[in-house]
Amino acid sequence: MAKCFFKLLKKDFDIIHTHVYGHPHIFFAHLAGKLKNTKLIHTTHCPWTDSYRSLMGKILLKLTYSTLSKFAVNLSNKVIAITPWEIEFLKNIN
C-alpha cells in the first residue's frame, strides 16, 4: 500500500482514479494526489453489503470506513457511485 504512495509521487499524472471504498490504497493514492496537485476520482463499486465478515473483518472495516476511506473520498474531486442507493451513503460520510 505504501509502495503505491511512493510510486505515485515519482510520476506525473493528470488524474488518479481509485476503486473500491474501504481499502487502504485509496487513502495513499489520494494523499499522493493531493501532494502532487493531481485530480482525484474514486469509484465505489458497492462495498456496503450484508456479506458475512469475521469479527476482525468487521473491526477493520469499521476502522477504515470511519477514517482512511472517509478522508480519501472527501479529498476526491469526483466520486462515482455504481448503484443509486450508494449516493445517500456517500452524502452522509462528510
Residue 12 within a domain? no
Residue 77 within a domain? yes
pLDDT exceeds cutoff 90 at 12: yes
Rounded to the nearest integer, the mean pLDDT of the chain is 84
Note down the domain range covering 79: 22-91
Residue 10 within a domain? no
* DSSP β-ladder status, 39-43 and 15-19: parallel
pLDDT exceeds cutoff 90 at 16: yes
User: pLDDT for 48-94, tens place per residue?
Assistant: 666 777 888 788 877 877 787 778 778 889 999 888 888 887 777 76
pLDDT exceeds cutoff 70 at 37: yes
- On the 0-12 / 13-18 / 19+ scale of CB atoms within 10 A, 68 is buried
Mean pLDDT of 8-33: 89
User: What is the count of structural domains for the chain?
Assistant: 1
